[in-house]
Amino acid sequence: MQFNKILVPIDFSEFSDSAVDYALFWGELFGAEVTLLHALVLHQFETGEEEHLRAYEKFARVKEEHMRLELQRYNQQVSRRRPVTVTSRLIRAVTAADGILEEIYNNGYDMVILGTHGRTGLKKWLYGSVAEKVVRLSPIPVLTVHHPVKRFRVDRILVPVDFSEYSRKAVQAADELRRVFQAQLHFLHVIYPEFHPAYYVAGIESLFALDKDLKTRSLEKLREFTGNINDGAAYTVLEGKPHEEIVNYAREQDVDLILMATRGLSGLEHLLIGSTTERVVRLAKMPVLTIERERQKEASTEA
């Protein structure tokens, strides 16, 4: 897995600055060019009167020039942090997410690194944010950063596995990154318990209590599914809500990076089903790297 061009959307908040620092870390490691992108979102007048349109365009040009100068100053400051080639782009967009996605599709980037909970705050994230939309629709890997990264290394990588083809590709990608970072892989499978009410009446609250060999069989299947990767990989099977168990395990094991596949859901299907990946991206304290299914196919072909 090689990253030559890394895109970092910024809004000049502390969250995006943290993402920039992490992007510089990855850029130095992979010898990649880092591009800072600021999407200038201006709300158009609803009326189409020529006078209003001229006033809008004048305001837009002034705002654009101001942001261009700010972006240039920030680019210069960022370029001094690490020996990485840093460029910047300013675009106009109807929405920040749409602008970022258009930039991704048109300019040959290999990865997006972005901070979450920016100026729009937590409430915006919960009801659908820039990060959520980019994670769901990006054709390339997206690395989300929530908090200032305290440790610029990747010693432990967590890979949740649900035995689907999506997670198989995540396993392949994780093995490639393991070699780059010399990291330990943690493979985790979470069984979501669904009980008939009668079992609760009988005092049975765990599938592991109901089926004594379930954990052993699941561990064997997990090892087989991941190809029995050596080099000290850890294999764990837990019971509970997948996103909660993944986030808790990552915290308890002091994981540096979570690597997950997205299923590319959209529209009504996404609304009804939701996404374990998106919940993990939202709640995890450490960076989360998501790989979209079509991109995975390309990566596996190149490997």
pLDDT tens per residue across span 106-128: 999 999 999 886 444 444 434 34
If asked whether residues 211 and 185 sit together in one domain, one would say yes
CA distances 127 to 19, 74, 267, Å, are 22, 30, 15
On whether residue 288 sits in a domain, the answer given is yes
- The three-class DSSP label of residue 143 is strand
Tell which residue, 81, 102, 68, has the closest CA to residue 34: 81
Query: Left (φ > 0), alpha (ψ -120 to 50) or beta: where does 267 sit?
Result: left
Please provide residue 205's backbone torsions phi and psi, each rounded to the nearest 5 degrees.
Answer: -120, 5
Q: Which of 48-52, 148-152, 200-204, 278-282 has the lowest mean pLDDT?
A: 200-204
Mean pLDDT of 140-162: 91
If asked whether residues 138 and 160 sit together in one domain, one would say no
Q: Could you tell me the CATH number of the domain that includes residue 296?
A: 3.40.50.620
Q: Which residues pair with 57 in a beta bridge?
A: none
Q: Which residues pair with 234 in a beta bridge?
A: 186
Query: Is residue 295 scored above 80 in pLDDT?
Result: no
Distance of CA 127 to the CA centre of its chain: 17
pTM: 0.83
- How much is the pLDDT for 1? 80
If asked whether residues 127 and 195 sit together in one domain, one would say no
- How much is the pLDDT for 292? 74
Q: End of a domain among 114, 145, 176?
A: 145
For 51, residues 6+ apart whose C-beta sits below 8 A from its C-beta are: none
On whether residue 247 sits in a domain, the answer given is yes
If asked whether residues 190 and 282 sit together in one domain, one would say yes
As a whole number of angstroms, the distance between CA 137 and CA 172 comes to: 21
Q: Which residue's structure tokens are 């990608």?
A: 173
The domain tally of the chain equals: 2
Directed axis angle between helix 242-252 and helix 276-283, to 10°?
40
- How much is the pLDDT for 44? 52
Q: End of a domain among 117, 145, 173?
A: 145
Looking at per-residue pLDDT, the higher value among 45 and 167 belongs to: 167
On whether residue 283 sits in a domain, the answer given is yes
Looking at per-residue pLDDT, the higher value among 174 and 53 belongs to: 174
Q: End of a domain among 81, 116, 145?
A: 145
On whether residue 20 sits in a domain, the answer given is yes
- How much is the pLDDT for 50? 67
Tell which residue, 141, 174, 132, has the closest CA to residue 278: 132
On whether residue 116 sits in a domain, the answer given is yes
If asked whether residues 290 and 190 sit together in one domain, one would say yes
Tell which residue, 139, 170, 151, has the closest CA to residue 280: 170
As a whole number of angstroms, the distance between CA 297 and CA 301 comes to: 6
If asked whether residues 122 and 160 sit together in one domain, one would say no
CB 118 within 8 A of CB 130: yes
Directed axis angle between helix 293-302 and helix 165-181, to 10°?
60
Residue 102 CB coordination number (10 Å): 14
Confidence at 178, pLDDT banded by 50, 70, 90: very high
As a whole number of angstroms, the distance between CA 55 and CA 52 comes to: 5
Range of the domain at 178: 156-302
If asked whether residues 15 and 117 sit together in one domain, one would say yes
As a whole number of angstroms, the distance between CA 176 and CA 39 comes to: 32
Residue 206 CB coordination number (10 Å): 14
For 122, residues 6+ apart whose C-beta sits below 8 A from its C-beta are: none
If asked whether residues 140 and 160 sit together in one domain, one would say no
Q: Which residues pair with 8 in a beta bridge?
A: 36
If asked whether residues 31 and 103 sit together in one domain, one would say yes
If asked whether residues 181 and 240 sit together in one domain, one would say yes
Query: Is residue 49 scored above 70 in pLDDT?
Result: no
As a whole number of angstroms, the distance between CA 242 and CA 176 comes to: 25
If asked whether residues 217 and 288 sit together in one domain, one would say yes
- How much is the pLDDT for 125? 39
Please provide residue 253's backbone torsions phi and psi, each rounded to the nearest 5 degrees.
Answer: -95, 5
If asked whether residues 193 and 112 sit together in one domain, one would say no
On whether residue 151 sits in a domain, the answer given is no
Q: Provide the token pair at 254.
A: 């002091």
Mean pLDDT of 178-182: 94
On whether residue 150 sits in a domain, the answer given is no
On whether residue 46 sits in a domain, the answer given is yes
CB 173 within 8 A of CB 1: yes
